[in-house]
Chain A
Amino acid sequence: MRNPLSQKVVGLQPSGIRKFFDLVSEMEDAISLGVGEPDFDTPWHIREEGIYSLEKGRTFYTSNAGLKELKEEISKYLHRHCQVQYQPKDEIMVTVGGSEAIDLALRAMLDPGDEVLLPMPSYVSYLPCVILSDGVPVEIELKEEDQFKLTKEALLAKITPKTKVLVMPFPNNPTGAIMTREDLQEIVEVVIEKDLYVISDEIYSELTYGGQHVSIASFSGMRERTVLINGFSKSFAMTGWRMGYAAAPVLILEQMLKIHQFAIMCAPTTSQYAAVEALRNGEEDVASMREAYDQRRRFLIHELRRIGFEVFEPFGAFYVFPSIKKFGMTSNEFATRLLEEEKVAVVPGTAFGACGEGFLRISYAYSIDSLKIALERIEKFISRLS
């Protein structure tokens, strides 16, 4: 019998997070700080709108790109928050989570051999999606001394004649790093000079603390070379609804839409109606969740430092990325021992790329009281090490 499998797919490394997850799920009564999704329920008025759409029998396909009124709300939202204008008609599409949009953008833009720059550590799906699109992933190592920001020098060092796309994953999972207007300015100059395209994954944009999120698409000359990706999962606590979107110039978006049309048809209809409500009446929910995250962020950083971790202060997403280098263990050893000895699950930094070695990702999508219990256990663990 012939081998039924594609060598390209077989060759993909399974997510590092997967292996650790299997370990965690075998451990009974473990408490976890390993989750990458909000602990809040979707605000009730948004859920209610989903229920209402079902009651009304709105159970059919929508057009491929999504409901007209949703695209219009997304357009207004992007204008309000990112100062960029996108035509609802042909520059915005609704996707099944931000993840689908990442996949579509890469598939629509890459030819075999095109190089894609990936700042690392980063979300686990960029690299495999590049490979599946026959692109060549080129990692850019982000450094703690740069607060895990992408710098002009690091970017320039990796650009070759084959470089086509730069993925911009900020606010960043797992580091919590953000890029300010000044930080972005020097990246924009390089991107334009070297004629690159940008896929900007801004899924955590609403979770920016102590300042406003800045979209790279808002810089002069960048709108035409950017695919802006965002969604509802993190900002409105809607992970299970699978609602994301992409905004891009027609030239790129119509090709993304073609793939989406054949592979997905359309994003779930119920979720789209709920998403319209989220954008129309959900700003206050976002603000109050952001405030809660910010309180936990301060609390967690303070406590981790008190216990003896070296922590760079993140201003985005809901993760801290403390260094464990001084404890003389690998990330994986540390996380495994912490799990086995104190039953606390955190994610080893290496799950997000080899350069995550020496770090842990700790999520603060947990109540302060849950954080307290976990921190007590972590403190016990640390005190035994020294």
Chain B
Amino acid sequence: MFSLPSRALTTAAAALLATCLALPALAQETRTITDDAGRSVEIPADPQRIASLQDLFFSVPLIELGVTPVGSHGRVVIESQPFMRSSKMLTGVDFDTAPITFLGTGTEIDPEAVAAVDPDLIILSTNQDPEAFASIAPTVLLDFNRSDKFELYDRLAEITGTGDALKLLETRYAQQLNQLKAQVDAPNISVNVIAAVEGQIRSYRHFAALGRLLDEADFAMPDAVKEIEYGKFADFSPERLPELDADLILVTYRAEEGETAQDAYDLLEATIPGYCAFLKACQNGRLIAVPRDETFASSYSALGSLAYTLIALLAPVPDVRPD
């Protein structure tokens, strides 16, 4: 018979207690999913600490699904703090309004910055290397270049177990879409979404939120836009301006960078002096500037505000005639 020193006993008891406390975490349930690269990944059944390596197409949808990532990719401009593109405008959530750590910009995100937020799941895009982060937490690779950006919601809801939240968002959007279709004769109205970019006219076909709305409401489009692949955009020479005319032209501007509707019109004028005279949409007061942040996000909040914008622009108005 021998006796252990009391200090050794205390240490052993502490170690046992620590092990017991850690057991729930170690025993966290997992499930297996297949990501967009075809990789089979074992992820936590209920991930609580997600690091999102793309702001606009991962972080914003996650926030709309009710999941706040612990860290996110973002953007920088010299004179301001880092921000998540379009997030504050669409959700109110950003690095300065929520406990989200800025992880970096572009595709070169430092794995050490990701490790520092202690994630239990990392969601990254196809232009990032999952192996660089694999030792930190399970990595799920999603392709945000897909033509239907809203498919990302299905994937993110599947990954985060927020299918119910997605159903609510879809239900709300369906009501908004029905209102639009009931009040606007969409199939007989052509719409084009354009922006003046570096001396060219960029036209978007069914791109992101505005694209989905225009498609599902069944709006018509100019023939030139039909040349563009679904969910993509193309740059046209200014010489083809009349081919881009439509009943309604929505021209986008970057509100988040401080641009205004007037900036969008000025850019068009600089690209094609006197452009308005050659677009019947403009002549009829139907060339309208809309924020690019909402039109190009994959966001249910954006879908709602855009639906009401189109109703306000295109629904019948009282026939007011002077006596």
A is bound by B: no
